[in-house]
Structure 1
Amino acid sequence: MYAITIPQPGGPEVLTWAEVADPVAGDGEVVVEVAATAVNRADVMQRRGHYDPPPGASPYPGLECSGRIAEVGPGVSGWSVGDEVCALLAGGGYAEKVAVPAGQLLPVPKGVDLVTAAALPEVTATVWSNVFMVAHLRPGETLLVHGGSSGIGTMAVQLAKAVGATVAVTAGSAEKLAACRELGADILVNYREQDFTEAVTPDVILDIIGAKYLQRNVDALAVNGRLVVIGLQGGTKAELNLATLLSKRAAVAATSLRPRPREEKAAIVGAVREHVWPLIEAGAVRPVVDRTMPLVEAAEGHRVVEESTHIGKVLLTV
């Protein structure tokens, strides 16, 4: 088969379409013939040499895909060759085929085409696991989403609204904020012009920035608030006034999805299928796709994501 490889760390131009060995379905795995994958920040970090795949994972980028099952390995039940699926991956989505643990498979939701389904696994698993399984967002509470127009952000806005929360977002342009409003966001903050701590007192914050926002996030939280850090775009080290955290009886959590054991990923994927898939099939939540381009043009997809001009997901088709 062919895959996008990374012969050496560097800019988008290092991404190379090359012939590689076909994957084999191991115990409890299937091989998926990939229809589409998506560009995630983790792929960009891996290309730069800052985020190695977990042990045993495919060396190729791509943390999600959609496609059809081409091979079913031993110990797999409930899935058959030809089934249309999308999947959460530890890597390998930028390829014509990928081996996937069966617990990380999802059926393509009714009403969603096969290519667009590639926009769903990573964002739904990330948002559901962090906003609901870790932070326990409840109806009537307020969620603040940093980067509201990103793939994760657009899904977080919709899922929080679907369960009856108020949603605030930060973004860097009027166009991005307008897109968030269309998805249901109630409070819009242009971070270039306004301090979010003056605009909202959230019960839960979903943060992709990290160090740069740490103290301000805690300052903004409501009493009994929960901050979940899932990205480090603003750095890795910061000083925090613990007195503020104590006075608010607040909690700070930090999680990553890619290196988790298969069993944990399977539990998250199962929760997504139970809670999120019905919302998608009912039309209450939808994937947001900025653009679709061929996988062989993955370098251009990375440039788009690095420029942060997109709204929602950038997909790559095989």
Structure 2
Amino acid sequence: MIAMDRLASLELFVRIVDRGSFRAAAADLGISRPVATAAIKALEKRLGTRLLQRTTRHVQPTVDGESYYRRCVSILADIEDAGRGASGAVTGLLRVNIAGHLVRTMLLPALPAFLAQHPALAIHLGEGERLVDLVREGIDCVVRAGHLPDSDMVARHLGDMEEITCASPAYLAEHGVPLSPDRLDGHVMVGFVSSRTDRPLPLEFTRDGETIEVSLPARVLVGGADTSVAAARLGFGLVQAPRIRFENDLAAGTLVEVMADFPPTPTRLSVLYPSNRQLSPRVRVFVDWLIDTLGPHRSPA
């Protein structure tokens, strides 16, 4: 019983440091805040040192607490690994943050098979494309497309998604079918506004190994990928995105691929997780599954 109590206190301490909050950590673990506070006081008394200090905004570890935190993370990961080795099972809740369209088009269709392989595992799929603080928000990993800003997270390349250029039949009937990047006079684009620059991204084409960027006028500017595709369906201009996003529209004829001989550069897809945390079995099996799942959607060599 004592060993179990101590293990639970280690898990609680790590969760408090990760979340920066007694209240959030207690809620994650299904206990009350007073119980969490009492448990940490008992842990500090047993160790003979103060582990946590409160600031005006959140809780953070002391110098001794930071050292103890790193040891606890390693110990808990080893225990989880040992449990998997004994039973062959990956257990617990995996928290992932990923763009909604990737969830719907690529992950959900394959998810039943993944969960069938790991019946003791549950997954929380948070949808979004914003920058997240994995540790503070209690997220195990994120999947992101495109350029990654500098960070202290580990980024593992999952693959590159083939990109294409599309427009609606009504748009092409009015503006004509574009044939090359040099012959886009009179054409317009759906302006996809970058969250990093707050400016519309140019269209991108490749020719003879060279990347060509073309900025066209845009009467409709959007900040969401799904909205950009919806705007293209309504005839507001040329749009570029991974082919998988357009598959239903292409099959239905609501969008048409153009300038296939001058494709945009592929979009890089990556999974990111904290560099200061030992990779848990849950994240490890999920990342391996992602690589297998995304294989059919990668850009052709």
Q: What TM-score comes out, normalization by structure 2 length?
A: 0.28
Q: What TM-score comes out, normalization by structure 1 length?
A: 0.27
Higher RCO structure (Cα 8 Å, ≥6 apart): 2
Larger Rg computed on CA atoms: 2
Q: Would you tell me which structure has more helix in proportion to its own residues?
A: 2
